[in-house]
Amino acid sequence: MRNTPLLVLAVLAFVATACSGGGSTSAASSTPSASSTSVNATTALATPVSSSAPPDCAAGYLAQFSTREKLAQLLTVGVRDAADATNVVRTEQVGGIFVGGWTDEALLGSGEIEQVKQAAKVPLMVTIDEEGGRVSRVRNLIGAVPSARVTAQTMSPDEYYRATLTRGQALKNLGVTVDFAPDVDVSSQPDESVIGDRSFSDDPAVVTRFADAYIRAMREVGVGTVMKHFPGHGSGSGDSHTGVVRTPPLDAMQNVDLVPFRNLIGSGAAVMVGHLDVPGLTTPNVPASISPEAMSLLRGGSGYGAAPFQGPIFTDDLGGMAAITSRLSIEDAVEAALVAGADSALWITTDAVSQVLDRLEQAVANGRLPMAQVDASVLRMAGFKGTLPRC
């Protein structure tokens, strides 16, 4: 493939699993691997991609999209019901939809998600944040489970792995393809605080072991996982839903908040970046979710002692959390996030999708968002979803 931008060529180094039939990578050597099972091509969505791919494989995948459709593949938007979801997929070909607490339960409970998937040009990512405990969107459909904190206090990692196999299969049966979990924040906050009992522990080693069990189990059943909230919300001051959150300085996070990300960066999970102001990392008043410095820290790895991260980077919700909405419009926030280096911009409604895509097309035309960067992100998302064709 002649004249392929260098950034796209670099991405080819890790989009190949979906092209070559799948593979698996275990979590960090410091984490347990009991009950580990090899992953085949049917679970490529949750598998890290690490070998080289023929350039024509990626070129053929990218060629089916217009520029607007490529940009749409980098959006994950919350939906109200099947009609809302079908409309945004059919008209704009967004890459993913998000099922929230406000979404009509029939979308998943009555199988309406299948008609939505049929409207997509390439397989649709159906996401949810089903952590258990108080963050549970489908407890009425698959039952309730304890919070992460209670889980770590009452179960072993291997017991949690086995329980997650069952719950992951239940999510997959509903049509979910990606779960925005586990929460790998390290926290001693009270249970009902913003992180609180969503954290497995205030011990990074405990967080690592339980998050590893969750990721491995979900990978085995074919549901993608997304670790959150990079670089760590567990010691942050405040709630990003309601206002600005400031974390400890980056140096102070190295041996606590960043440890689970460092340990699990090769696990096959994607990463969600939080709306966090991080002294020593982010520019003042530019939260990590739209910060080039935060994206570079995650992507490069060397700034916190981790391997380079090759998978997709998601933002936290850009449209319903005051840490962002008090500063930027949704159009500004999505553009800033993608320009900074995120691969998928998440927000909770479909209302502004067309306006956002209009803005992103302008950003590409004006050079603010290079086409090579867009292509690289489209390929990362395709590798994560397992949507690249066999070559």
Residue 241 bears catalytic tag? yes
Query: What whole-number distance in Å separates Cα of residue 216 and Cα of residue 209?
Result: 11
Q: How do 345-347 and 75-78 pair as beta strands?
A: parallel
328 three-state secondary structure: coil
Residue 179 bears catalytic tag? no
Q: Phi and psi dihedrals of 359, rounded to 5?
A: -65, -45
Distances (CA, A) of 166 to 34, 143, 368, 369: 16, 11, 45, 41
Cis peptide before 229 (omega within 30 of 0): yes
Check residue 183 and report its DSSP letter: B
CB count, 10 Å around CB of 255?
A: 12
Query: What whole-number distance in Å separates Cα of residue 259 and Cα of residue 264?
Result: 9
First to last CA, the chain: 14
Encoded tokens for 197:
């009992």
Residues 148, 197: contact at Cβ < 8 Å?
yes
Query: What whole-number distance in Å separates Cα of residue 205 and Cα of residue 308?
Result: 21
346 three-state secondary structure: strand
Q: Which of 129, 316, 317, 375 is catalytic?
A: 316
Residues 373, 123: contact at Cβ < 8 Å?
no
Check residue 109 and report its DSSP letter: H
Distances (CA, A) of 247 to 198, 230, 388: 17, 11, 38
Residues 340, 368: contact at Cβ < 8 Å?
no
Helix (H) or strand (E) holding 17: helix 17-20
Residues linked to residue 97 through DSSP beta bridges, in sequence order: 77, 126
Q: Which of 81, 241, 332, 351 is catalytic?
A: 241
Q: Which residues are catalytic?
A: 241, 316
